Amino acid sequence: MAAPRRHYLDNSPGQLHVWQWQGDQSALPPIVCLPPVPYGGRFFDSFAQAYEGPVWSADLPGYGFSDALGDAPTVSGYTDAMTPLLNAPGQPVWLAGFHSGALVAMEMANHYPEQVSGLVLVDVPVFSGPDMADLRASLTKPPAYLEQEDPLNGLFKAMVADRLDKVAYPRALDLFFDFVGAGEARNAGYHAASNFEAEPAATQVAQPTLVIATHSSLRDGTLQVAEWLTQATLVERDDITMPAFELGADPIAKLTRDFVS
């Protein structure tokens, strides 16, 4: 497959930086991917290559080359900002979301049901409830790089050097740069996921939804969301470990092709 094309779409904050994979299997349904904080649209490159059909994604507002939201990030704000992606393929799309992107996918499906054929949700976070208060407060703290001793080398070791047996160096490097690219605003987007009530959104989703639970810390929340969804097909894959969309790109893409076709 050729390298993804990049362009911009106008949205509510200003501009949305878009990634597009045409794929060799143009008959497959188009998929719009919603990335997790703090990554951009190229987070889904390995998945798009494995899916082989038309795929669109974009840098979340405030990350990569997309303009930031004017207020504190919310799932609703991300949904409004990413909505231009729905019009890009020129036909109804399937939405795929990972982590915080899964919440945006549900919200988008509820707001634009005629443009969304269905969803693929992988590892869905559920941070609601009083028992999650401390976690919610910690998620959005800036990384405070100046207060750390050699912080970027530590991140580079963890995200690149220590993963070379799992992720090819060029790909690991791209993900590392995306992770640190927002600087001190790196964790700001977690405000969206940590203040989102997943149950009301999930119970309103009317489209068929493939829910994939991998071997991750989000497993319990993912299983709970699958129960809330009215048309969920749950697939548990303990063999897919972190980083899920790298090590699990092929099986996730196959599960997706089988479900959307």
What is the pLDDT tens value at each position of the chain, 261 positions in all?
Answer: 668 999 999 999 999 999 999 988 889 999 999 999 999 999 999 999 999 999 999 999 999 999 999 999 999 999 999 999 999 999 999 999 999 999 999 999 999 999 999 999 999 999 876 666 777 778 889 999 999 999 999 999 999 999 999 999 999 999 999 999 999 999 999 999 988 999 999 999 999 999 999 999 999 999 999 999 999 999 999 999 999 999 999 999 999 999 998
CB under 8 Å to 21, separation ≥6 — which residues? 1, 4, 45, 48, 49, 51, 54, 55, 56
Q: Does domain 5-140+187-260 have CATH number 3.40.1190.20?
A: no
* Cα R_g (the chain), whole angstroms: 17
Identify the pLDDT of residue 1: 63
Q: Which residues of 67-100 are buried (b: 16+ CB within 10 A; e: fewer)?
A: bbbeeebbbebbbbbbbbbbebbeebbbbbbbbb
In three-state secondary structure terms, 226 is: helix
**Whole-angstrom distance, CA of residue 70 vs CA of residue 53:** 34
In three-state secondary structure terms, 87 is: helix
Cβ count within 10 A of residue 173:
14
| Cα–Cα distance list, 59 to 25, 73, 130, 226 (Å) | 24, 14, 31, 27
DSSP character for 24?
S
Identify the pLDDT of residue 174: 96
Q: Where in the chain is the domain with CATH 3.40.50.1820?
A: 5-140+187-260
| Cα–Cα distance list, 43 to 1, 82, 249 (Å) | 16, 15, 11
Identify the pLDDT of residue 207: 98
Q: What is the DSSP string of 123-189?
A: S-----SGGGHHHHHHHT----GGGSSSHHHHHHHHHTGGGTTTS-HHHHHHHHHHHHTTGGGTTTT
Identify the pLDDT of residue 108: 98
CB 83 within 8 Å of CB 105: no
Identify the pLDDT of residue 131: 67
